[in-house]
Amino acid sequence: MTDALASPAGLTQAQARQRLAIDGANELPVSKPRSLLRLAREIASEPMFLLLMACGLIYLGLGSRREALMLLGFVFLVMATSFVQQRRSERSLEALRELSDPQALVERDGQVQRIAARELVVGDLVLLAEGDRVPADLQLGEVANLSVDESLLTGESAPVPKQSAPLAGGGTSSQAFAGCLVTQGTARGSVIATGARSALGRIGQSLAGIVAPPTPIQQETRQVVKRVALFGLALAALLALAYGLARGEWLQGLLAGLTLAMAILPEELPVVLSLFLSLGAWRLAREKVLARQIPAVELLGATTLLCVDKTGTLTANRMALRRLWSADHGHDTAQARPSPLPEALHGLLEYAVLACHRRAFDPMETAITEAGQRLLAGTEHLHADWTLIDDYPLSPDLLAMSRVWRSPDLAAQLIAAKGAPEAIIDLCHLGADQGASISTQVQAMAADGLRVLGVAWARFPAGDLPDQQHDFNFEFLGLLGLEDPVRPDVPQAIAECRAAGIRVVMMTGDHPATAVSVARQAGLDAEAPALTGVELATLDDAELARRLGSTHIFCRVQPEQKLRLVRAFQARGEVVAMTGDGVNDAPALKAADIGVAMGARGTEVARQAAALVLLNDDFASLVTAVRYGRRVFANLRKAIVFVVAVHVPIVGLSLMPVLLGWPLLLMPVHILCLQLIIDPACSVVFEAEGLEPEAMKAPPRRPDQRLFDRAVVARGLLQGVGLLVMLLGLHAAARAWLPDGPEREGMARALSFVALVLSNLALIRTNRTWGFAAGPAQLKPSPQAAWVAAGTLAMLVAVLWIPMVRHLFGFELPPPATWLAPAGLAVLAMLWFKAVKRLPARGH
């Protein structure tokens, strides 16, 4: 850094402390993790958990301590599981943040010192050098060949040259913004804004007014739970009243009512939903996709539109040398079968490398240097032993830079220049015809999405160097075309999205020609004209809505315009997923139905705004996430069919004996046993099922499609009613065939319970697959299904052959020959379930 930049100046420590106390720390306004108490309160306030707690307390009041403790234990277990899972997600997000506090070099008390960037205040003088992150918004006072990468704010991948502004109001060309990277040069600037008041912070603040609504599946599940719960409680109260009035046994009536309430209350629904989404988030984490908002896992399956940023999302956010051109030769480094660089172009690349800094920070210089090391390896055109004599930096008046070298075996000095083609043409004093020919080639390369630089060289006798580059006798060598390459996995990922019926559009701050070129390379639809930010600003909402149907490329768009586009697409009924990594993407990420941020290169503000974070920045992971989203919804529907089907016979066996004048068939302990073992276990079985064949070639489900639609509920009811009729028939037959005596009711109850449990296993097996291809997967049981079957059979053995447990359940062992009845009923039930499964069900 030059002496001028390091001269003592700036605030005193006392002044800095005073301003820090007034303005606050220089930190971004990112959202804070939920506290442990708040998280526990949110989980405990779920309506179904409150209802189950109330049932447990009533059981305690009735003296049924064992049943109460089992019920309350289950409730607290589910709450603890939800708590641990959500805390794990919070901690995973926190792990993405940088571990070290960024530093800043400032001038205070007449000395240059390094402090934590969070301690910066307005008025501080900050020193910048190549490789530094700008710690706050600065007004630049002294600049030496400074370029800044502002892609996080603007989406532009090319660095922006900066100049000094001795007077106020120098514009953005004389300002450096917080979070941006210094790619070249040095500077000294005064802090003009920190924290929330910086350009980066203002974008972060705009997120506060955007509230993400509950997903449709959350809203639907809450409504179903409330309605069924109210209906169940009302029906249970009527049953208790009718039992007491008819038989005069009010305590037994209350017990019958509570049993019916437990049978009807759909406590599995919040458990199943939480379990599916939590396990889906866990599975995604194994694929390097972090789910910050777990419900977004399911919503991915309904995604109809994917809005992608160009820089860092479709592209690698890393410049690469793509093309070299001279008047007589050309070479493309991205050929399918790479060929050696032609000898005639060696000089062009040689002097392009010499025109770069040896310790390059600028992405373009890095790309040129890397290409030189690769394409010129083993030749005499790499000069590690040459000595740098001086350089002529880039300036606003001449967008070119020159570096003067001395060779060990030459007396004369050699000058390498690179810069904007028009500047190099000017330096070489070329004629109009030759200049026009070069300009035509520049336009052709730019149309291919390349950033074009000109290269020239000169020889100058040893001695004093001239004051300006124009005094050298430059000869034009040729042009370099650089690009920010498309990620290798992007075209295949976009093709899969198209096959799945998901439309992909690009939103970028880059030049239209570059955007169209990248879109074509990525496989996007580039036939319709691109819509620029300037055009967008002139369109009203109606005209914009009309253009959205055919436009796939949006370029030169501002951050607030991205937000407008996302909301406009949502107004058309699209379920929008938005990907991005920069601060400028954050408002649109939060407003989208599903915001997807890049974890490795992305900013903290973008990650906080997103629902999903791609930890390895692999764009193909997004397709994997969509696949998991569709799988979650399809398997949820299978689980819902099971839950509906299994509750019908439980409700019927709780209600019908009372109406028929029989003794109670099911007691609370029976229902709780089924809920503790069969229902949670079946949720694991259905959650583990893979996606049905061809599911990723089907269009997304309708955004308004309900989880509990008519087809799903009807399928569950039909399966359940058929099973209830069979069970009632078996119970009536058992009461008629079994020998008279006090044990008969216990035997009949045991046979009916065993038949119900075995039929539940058949129900699980039948519904594991349905829709695109039913049957083959059932021939190959999953490990989860095998464990459920083994655990259920072990439970039956314990219930029937351990006297204490058998007494608790009110069972008596029936004659051995009667065990064929529940087994036969389970087989008959499976045939019925398969017959019902043939009925069509939409949206699977």
The pairs formed by 490-495 with CB atoms below 8 angstroms and a separation of 24 or more are: 490/314, 490/522, 490/523, 490/619, 490/620, 491/521, 491/522, 491/523, 492/620, 493/619, 493/620, 493/622, 493/623, 494/522, 494/523, 494/524, 495/523
The per-residue pLDDT for 200 is 76
Q: How many CA atoms lie within 13 A of 254 on its CB side?
A: 9
The per-residue pLDDT for 735 is 86
Confidence of residue 459 (pLDDT cuts 50, 70, 90): very high
Place of tokens 């790619």: 183
The most confident of the ranges 126-130, 322-326, 591-595, 832-836 is 322-326
Distance from C-alpha of 293 to C-alpha of 308, rounded to nearest angstrom? 20
- H-helix or E-strand containing 290? strand 289-291
Q: What is the pTM of this model?
A: 0.65
The per-residue pLDDT for 777 is 45
Reported as a single tens digit per residue, the pLDDT across 46-90 is 545 555 565 566 556 656 676 566 656 656 755 665 566 456 545
In the set 132, 137, 309, 618, the catalytic residue is 309
Spatial CB neighbours of 324, under 8 Å, sequence gap ≥ 6: 330, 331, 333, 341, 345, 348, 349, 478, 479, 480, 481
Q: How many CB atoms neighbour CB 334 within 10 A?
A: 12
Of 456 and 298, the structure prediction assigns the larger pLDDT to 456
Residue 511 φ/ψ, nearest 5 degrees: -65, 145
Instruction: Tell me the average pLDDT across 657-670.
Output: 76
CA angle 696, 697, 702 (to 5 degrees): 80
Of 288 and 720, the structure prediction assigns the larger pLDDT to 720
Pairing of strands 612-614, 594-598: parallel
Q: How many CB atoms neighbour CB 439 within 10 A?
A: 13
Of 397 and 372, the structure prediction assigns the larger pLDDT to 372
Reported as a single tens digit per residue, the pLDDT across 384-404 is 889 999 888 877 678 899 999
Instruction: Tell me the average pLDDT across 551-557.
Output: 89
The per-residue pLDDT for 186 is 81
Residue 641 φ/ψ, nearest 5 degrees: -60, -45
Confidence of residue 605 (pLDDT cuts 50, 70, 90): low
Reported as a single tens digit per residue, the pLDDT across 772-830 is 344 444 446 678 788 888 888 888 888 888 887 787 777 888 888 888 999 999 999 99
The per-residue pLDDT for 336 is 59
* DSSP-derived secondary structure letter, 35: P
Confidence of residue 437 (pLDDT cuts 50, 70, 90): very high
Task: Pick the range with the lowest mean pLDDT from 141-145, 681-685, 747-751.
Answer: 681-685
Instruction: Tell me the average pLDDT across 472-482.
Output: 95
Percent of the chain with pLDDT over 90: 20
The per-residue pLDDT for 718 is 92
The per-residue pLDDT for 421 is 92
Residue 19 — left, alpha, or beta (φ > 0 → left; ψ -120 to 50 → alpha)?
alpha
Confidence of residue 95 (pLDDT cuts 50, 70, 90): very low
The pair of structure tokens assigned to 204 is 């972060």
Q: How many CB atoms neighbour CB 725 within 10 A?
A: 13
Distance from C-alpha of 517 to C-alpha of 522, rounded to nearest angstrom? 9
Instruction: Tell me the average pLDDT across 251-260.
Output: 64
User: In 3-state terms, the chain is what percent helix, strand and coil (to 5)?
Assistant: 55, 15, 30
Instruction: Tell me the average pLDDT across 167-184.
Output: 74
The pair of structure tokens assigned to 211 is 């509230």
541 labelled catalytic: no
Helices marked H in 768-819 — which ranges? 783-801, 803-809
The per-residue pLDDT for 72 is 66
Reported as a single tens digit per residue, the pLDDT across 485-521 is 888 888 988 988 888 889 999 988 777 877 888 888 8
> Residue 565: is its pLDDT beyond 70?
yes
The per-residue pLDDT for 214 is 58
Confidence of residue 680 (pLDDT cuts 50, 70, 90): low
Q: How many CB atoms neighbour CB 88 within 10 A?
A: 13
Confidence of residue 270 (pLDDT cuts 50, 70, 90): low
Residue type at position 72: L
Confidence of residue 427 (pLDDT cuts 50, 70, 90): very high
> Residue 327: is its pLDDT beyond 80?
yes
The per-residue pLDDT for 352 is 96
Nearest to 405 by CA among 420, 397, 393, 415: 415
* DSSP-derived secondary structure letter, 213: P
- H-helix or E-strand containing 577? strand 576-580
The pairs formed by 213-219 with CB atoms below 8 angstroms and a separation of 24 or more are: 214/295, 215/295, 215/296, 215/298, 215/299, 216/299, 216/302, 216/703, 216/704, 216/706, 217/273, 217/295, 217/298, 217/299, 217/633, 217/636, 217/707, 218/273, 218/295
Per the prediction, the chain carries an average pLDDT of 79
Percent of the chain with pLDDT over 70: 76
Residue type at position 671: I
> Residue 548: is its pLDDT beyond 70?
yes
> Residue 44: is its pLDDT beyond 70?
no
Distance from C-alpha of 713 to C-alpha of 836, rounded to nearest angstrom? 12
> Residue 844: is its pLDDT beyond 50?
no
**How far is C-alpha 269 from the chain's CA centre?**
25
The pair of structure tokens assigned to 159 is 């660095």
Task: Pick the range with the lowest mean pLDDT from 110-124, 330-344, 472-486, 712-726.
Answer: 330-344
The per-residue pLDDT for 2 is 35
The per-residue pLDDT for 92 is 42
3-state secondary structure 143-201: EEEEEEECHHHHCCCCCEECCCCCCCCCCHHHEECCCCEEEEEEEEEEEEECHHHCHHH
Reported as a single tens digit per residue, the pLDDT across 191-235 is 999 888 888 777 666 555 555 555 566 666 667 777 776 777 777
Pairing of strands 576-580, 531-532: unpaired
Distance from C-alpha of 331 to C-alpha of 319, rounded to nearest angstrom? 17
The per-residue pLDDT for 539 is 92
Contact call for residues 424 and 480 (beta carbons, < 8 A): no
> Residue 714: is its pLDDT beyond 70?
yes
Instruction: Tell me the average pLDDT across 703-711.
Output: 72
The per-residue pLDDT for 89 is 46
Distance from C-alpha of 604 to C-alpha of 29, rounded to nearest angstrom? 10
The pair of structure tokens assigned to 731 is 């119970």
Nearest to 392 by CA among 470, 469, 471: 469
